Structure 1
């Protein structure tokens, strides 16, 4: 990416009179007691300055009151953004992969009709269902659509292998596709000639704070080395390999603490692994962290580690760099496209605890140049990423 991105002023003036419709599987609710696809809201925060109005439609699966998302998500508005959470039904046949019921397209159309929503341009997030819905709305309303494909590498590869007509339509139908890494662009060009590589970004909430100050606020020792990691506790994130690596690290030095933030179905298994390996004094699962603590943890650590088995382009990587901290992560998805120099972090083979341990030890022993990391991070602010996206909008709206 180029940090000095310009947008055609005449095109900006034209778009300023228009309304952007954003389709996303989830969106944080009004008080952020429900948080999902937060990066979409961060992106919207930058894009809304370029449009007269933004409309966000995030279908919520109807659960008859049993699930948190259904209970907490209610329509709301702020600034020039309107957010709608229509209730929908989606029932897959897990044993075949087929879909028995999915009315999300229908309820999005009903929401548009019910609230008399008028829009000029559509931006869909993820291939299914938003990308497909965006294509169908393009056909019905004659409005251009741009789809950003955020899927992690494994998910994306499965979509390609499926060769499903609806997935293929979701990729061939938009006026343009955006992929969050560069390596998958040639694959997508088999479906659509207009494909752009634009990474995720980080919000202004992530900025450098003195490590000692951040640690004081989190009651962390100033004398210990701190490794921080964050993500959903699922197998794909590879936290078991990080725990294994800490066993190796603790055999070589006794001043390293590892904190893992996030919730998920793997928590019990990961805690069992920590207990069996007698690492409870060095590895701690933090659970879900409030949004206002994430930047503190990023700044309190010596290094951030992401041991994922596959990714698209992890937002936490950009947030880490935005805090001026080095990133140690696996060579998956778009990670090597961002960590292009050992000045910004170290890359690791996925599913390799020994390699991860040695890279963490090397990173902890190294003097990092925070200013150089921050200079690299500037190109990935959501403000600059939004300018890249606006250039694509301008091309399809021309």
Structure 2
């Protein structure tokens, strides 16, 4: 879960956390990805797939990129084991005091197995779907990983409660460390200036979505709500930032609705461009079916822009009546009404941004504290 050439928006929060941690400790990042057969029917369909070359680098962190063989669905029960076998000699050579892994299964499971074999503690970080959207064997393996980890990190209190309730996590081992943001990138700024830089109409009305183009992000409901609003407001535009397996289907749906000129799709863009688009727009919307602690919402608030989002996961820990509106998931009518209300309301943009101050350095400090606590506990026993 790190940014890759074919999907620069993926895992940005882990990259930021690792980069800040590297300023506090000696950090080696083992970036393992699955390698699927070069056969169309044996390639994953739930995410954008691409191979990561060995020698791949990322700013601010020491990366060792490698892969292991996998098959969609078929190898799911084995992925954690295979990943562990490939990972172990690399970690063993580094000789860490503690192993920190993100994404509970298969990555976290592999890390726990390696840490146990090497006699060091392991902290596993859960991000959202790896807790909220599990089924079949993934549920079993997620439960095993959480039971074996020395500590579990969650990005919201809602996720902490879910891990305890649904997976039997011991409360004393679960720590909520909410995401931060890059304060030098996501900050208030002139909407007019941002629109001029992006070539947007100065008197237009713009809504922005930032996320993966997958069904669970609510993009179909968003298009339905937008089409209704667009019929009443000729100046309204929708900006879709990101990419995903549904891109072609979404574009076909947009074309069929006759809205191609009113839906802008910049694609997956770097953080500086994301921030510029957010500042240029009137609001950000994220109608997901589930979330951990959505960074897009944090970044919008940090830029002083209101949010219309679904009341799922930790979103309610960010959004309240002063900076946005929450709606139920999969409810097009409530989403449409909330978007209209948010567009028409006068917001205190400076006040919205003022309340968001958490940085990735804060996240790194708290993460290191948990790592240090499990190391100290292991040395006592």
Residue from 113, 136, 143 that aligns with 1:168: 143
Which residue in 1 is equivalent to 2:32? 59
Of residues 305, 317, 321 in structure 1, which corresponds to 2:297? 317
Contact kept, 8 Å, 1:263 with 1:287, in 2: the verdict is: yes
Match of 1:50 in 2: 24
Show the counterpart of 2:161. 186
Provide TM-score, normalisation by structure 2. Answer: 0.86
Which of 47, 52, 70 pairs up with 1:90?
A: 70
The residue correspondences of 1:189-338 to structure 2 (distance < 5 A) are: 189=164, 190-193=168-171, 194-204=173-183, 205-338=185-318
Aligned residue in 2 for 1:144: 121
Report the TM-score, using the length of structure 1 for normalisation: 0.83
* 1:13-52 equivalent positions in 2, closer than 5 A: 26-28=1-3, 35=8, 36-51=10-25
Match of 1:8 in 2: none
* Cα distance in 2 for residues equivalent to 1:358 and 1:343: 17
> What is the match of residue 156 of structure 1?
131
Q: Summarize the alignment of residues 77-116 of structure 1 with structure 2, pairs less than 5 Å apart.
A: 81-94=61-74, 98-99=77-78, 103-113=82-92, 116=93
Structure 2: distance between partners of 1:282 and 1:77: 35
- Consecutive aligned runs of 4 or more in structure 1 exceeding 6 Å deviation: 64-68
| CA distance in structure 1 between the aligned counterparts of 2:286 and 2:134, rounded to whole angstroms | 24
Match of 1:366 among 338, 345, 359: 345
May I ask how many residue pairs the two structures share in their alignment? 362
Deviation of the 1:145 alpha carbon: 1.5
How do 1:318-397 residues align onto structure 2 when only pairs under 5 Å count?
318-339=298-319, 341-379=320-358, 381-397=359-375
Distance 1:354 1:100, change over 3 A: closer
1:344–1:373: 8 Å Cα contact kept in structure 2?
Answer: yes
Contact 1:229/1:261 (8 A) holds in 2: yes
Q: CA RMSD in A?
A: 2.6
Segments of 5+ residues of structure 1 without an aligned counterpart are 1-25
Q: Distance in 2 between matches of 1:76 and 1:287?
A: 22
